[in-house]
Structure 1
Amino acid sequence: MLEFSRREPSSREGTRTLVPICLGLTVILLVLVCEFSPSRHVPLVLRHPEFLLGRTSTSPEGHTLLDRGPHKTALDEKTRGQYAPRPVRGFRDARCETTTVGIVPDLPGSNTWNAPTVGATAGFDVAEANELGELPLPEAPRGVRDNGSADIGSGSGSAFLAGHVNHDSGDLSPWGRLHELEPCAPIFAAGSDGAAHTYRVTDLYVVPQAKLKEDPDLLASTGPPRLHLVTCSGPETAGVTRGIFAYQDNLVVRASLAS
């Protein structure tokens, strides 16, 4: 006959059992807090533990940023939001050696732009700004052209296009690659008639979003034919209506129509 002796567990063994249980409950609690609390009220390191081990840098505003790679926005420890790319160097009034172009590539359709040097292409709709002068945007990657601006390929005036810099996930949209453009880089664009035209980049700069409307050239109805591509840059801001720019600054690309 086999007899089994019953041994009471020691206090040390009981502690070993409780430790993983407590750790598990703590993790579950943290997950629930992050899931149901407003994201801005949750410490960034709890929502993104990789912040402790990832590569960080300091923004021009003095914020600590977590670099998530070239195809995503950075994470901003100060705002607990995202940080849209800035150009390594901006430039104004670039003088291109030539404005002539030999072959204009076919584009996917009307109301489309393509920047081949940064591998970016996006379509856009035509929309009207609201009573506050804000231009609501569709979800990335599509953008809009302000119907108060010139059409693509017009002989005079400026075409004003805008789009979201990233998707909700933080992945950059085609507009999020514009900060990589170099002086005189070509941009091919087709308007409502589907005809493709070539532009050369002359300006790349960042402006505070509040001052974007102060630039009369963006919606100029006369003057040299130009194209403006606008997206977001810099730190994310709170309390912005969905579909409107949600960042502190805007990146502006200005390009002149090639003859």
Structure 2
Amino acid sequence: MRPAAAGAVLGLALAIGVPTAWSLTRPPAAVGASVEQALPAPASPTAEGPAIPTRDAAPAPVADAPAPVRLQVPALGVDTAVDAVGVAPDGQMAIPDDVARVGWYRFGPAPGENGSAVIAGHVDDREQGLGVLAPLREAAVGQEVTVTAADGTTTRWRVVSRELISKQVLPVDRLFSRAGPPRLTLITCGGPFLPELGSYRDNVVVIAEPLP
């Protein structure tokens, strides 16, 4: 499906510093469908026994579809450049250091292709302040997301799910699925800041489905 390393996505929220004021107010932990309902289910067991998830030993080829270059969520004030990213040396999904930019996992689907297109970014940084995806914690069902590709085409999406999920139990196989109908998956950090780890405990995961 993707390099196994991508399964560690979600240390991506290495907030390099102290929690900022946004974490002091708590929106509901989830709205809309759960992430597991909004994304494709794992393969069903067969007569030979339960299906065993498998992962390619090497990254899948870069998608043929044009790469996304801009992400906009007007209701949340999100308007940011998107960089194509891969896997960091520590085995996690690479994320741009600049908290004003986000990364698209280039070894997975591009927005509009079958499966889950993953775009992620830091929630904050000690020196840079809040990240551009910090408002995801306020995402509401029905809000529109627009993704612009390198060739100038745009795809429009509708939020169907927002959920705060512990990094320890993220449904990684669903988040990075290459199967099923097109979905857009947006991820940043959330929940309480854990000083002993230097990062946040949870991830904010927003799922959107394509608009006609």
Per-residue Cα deviation, 1:106-129 (whole angstroms, up to 9, x for no partner): xxx951110011111111211112
Please say if residues 68 and 111 of structure 2, whose CA atoms lie closer than 8 Å, have aligned partners that are also in contact: no
Q: Give the number of the structure with larger relative contact order, counting CA–CA contacts within 8 Å between residues 6 or more apart.
A: 2
Range moving further from structure 2, 127-136 or 159-168:
127-136
Could you say which residue in structure 2 is the equivalent of 1:120? 78
Please say if residues 113 and 190 of structure 1, whose CA atoms lie closer than 8 Å, have aligned partners that are also in contact: yes
Contiguous gaps of at least 5 residues in structure 1: 1-38, 41-71, 75-81, 95-108
Alignment partner of 1:221 is 2:178: yes
Picking from 195, 200, 205, the partner of 2:163 is 205
Alignment partner of 1:184 is 2:131: no
Please say if residues 84 and 165 of structure 1, whose CA atoms lie closer than 8 Å, have aligned partners that are also in contact: no
Q: Quick one: which amino acid aligns to residue 171 of structure 1?
A: G
1:252 Cα deviation from its structure 2 partner: 0.2
- Structure 2 CA distance for aligned equivalents of residues 175 and 227 of structure 1: 14
1:64-83 equivalent positions in 2, closer than 5 A? 73-74=20-21, 83=23
Secondary structure, counterpart of 1:111 in structure 2: strand
TM-score when normalising by structure 2? 0.67
Higher strand share: 2
Query: What is the RMSD of the two structures over their aligned residues, measured on CA atoms?
Result: 2.8
Picking from 148, 151, 157, the partner of 2:110 is 151
Secondary structure, counterpart of 2:111 in structure 1: coil
Against the structure 1 CA distance between its residues 150 and 217, is the aligned structure 2 distance closer, same or farther, given a 3 Å change threshold? Answer: same
1:239 Cα deviation from its structure 2 partner: 6.3
Contiguous gaps of at least 5 residues in structure 2: 1-16, 35-66
1:248 Cα deviation from its structure 2 partner: 0.9
Q: Quick one: which amino acid aligns to residue 143 of structure 2?
A: A
Q: Quick one: which amino acid aligns to residue 176 of structure 2?
A: L
Secondary structure, counterpart of 1:91 in structure 2: strand
Alignment partner of 1:171 is 2:111: no
Please say if residues 145 and 159 of structure 1, whose CA atoms lie closer than 8 Å, have aligned partners that are also in contact: yes
| Count of aligned pairs | 163
TM-score when normalising by structure 1? 0.55
Against the structure 1 CA distance between its residues 223 and 84, is the aligned structure 2 distance closer, same or farther, given a 3 Å change threshold? Answer: farther
Q: Quick one: which amino acid aligns to residue 252 of structure 1?
A: V
1:170 Cα deviation from its structure 2 partner: 7.0
Q: Quick one: which amino acid aligns to residue 145 of structure 1?
A: W
1:143 Cα deviation from its structure 2 partner: 1.3
Q: Greater Rg, structure 1 or structure 2?
A: 1
Against the structure 1 CA distance between its residues 200 and 114, is the aligned structure 2 distance closer, same or farther, given a 3 Å change threshold? Answer: same
Higher helix share: 1
Could you say which residue in structure 2 is the equivalent of 1:141? 100
Q: Sequence identity of aligned pairs in percent?
A: 26
Picking from 188, 191, 194, the partner of 1:234 is 191
